[in-house]
């Protein structure tokens, strides 16, 4: 399985991409997150907060219950922030 990490997920894991072979019990994106958390303190920091994390499977946005297979490309990243100006300019409180 090809794994890719972007933005602060990449900074915390310390790598941009890797090939991994999770055990057969890893059947969903969430299973993969839980497996990755156990791989070291950097991974634990990167995958600690699900609310701050988004995933893509084979370059499509995916939910945490999406199924995954060994041949998939799975990416983890923070919510995306493309584009230019915000549609509503919110001042700090």
Partner 1 sequence: MIKVQEQDFNLAAEIAALTRGRTDIGGVVSFIGLVRDVSDGAKVAAMTLEHYPGMTEKQLSAIERDAGARWPLSASLIIHRYGRLLPGEQIMAVVTASAHRQAAFEAAEFLVDWLKTKAPFWKLESDGGAESWVAARDSDDEAAGRWEKG
- 90 belongs to the binding site for partner 1 (CB under 8 A): yes
Using the contact rule CB under 8 A, the part of the chain among 27-35, 36-44, 63-71, 84-92 near partner 1 is 84-92
DSSP-derived 3-state class of residue 49:
coil
**With CB under 8 A as the contact rule, which of the stretches 26-34, 42-50, 70-78 interacts with partner 1?**
70-78
Q: Shortest gap between Cβ of 76 and partner 1 (angstroms)? A: 11
Helix (H) / strand (E) element for 91: namely: none
Q: What are residue 54's phi and psi, to 5 degrees? A: -125, 160
Question: Do 6 and 76 form a contact (C-beta atoms < 8 A)?
Answer: yes
Give the one residue of 33, 56, 62, 74 binding partner 1; rule: CB under 8 A.
56
Rounded Cα–Cα distance for residues 88 and 71 (Å): 41
Nearest residue (CB) to partner 1, 21 versus 88 = 88
């Amino acid at each position: 399985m090809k794994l890719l990490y972007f933005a602060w997920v990449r900074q915390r894991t310390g790598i941009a991409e890797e090939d991994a072979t999770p055990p057969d019990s890893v059947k969903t994106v969430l299973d993969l997150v839980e497996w990755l958390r156990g791989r070291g303190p950097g991974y634990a920091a990167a995958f600690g907060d699900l609310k701050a994390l988004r995933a893509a499977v084979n370059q499509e946005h995916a939910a945490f219950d999406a199924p995954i297979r060994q041949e998939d490309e799975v990416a983890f990243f923070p919510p995306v922030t493309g584009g230019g100006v915000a549609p509503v300019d919110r001042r700090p409180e």
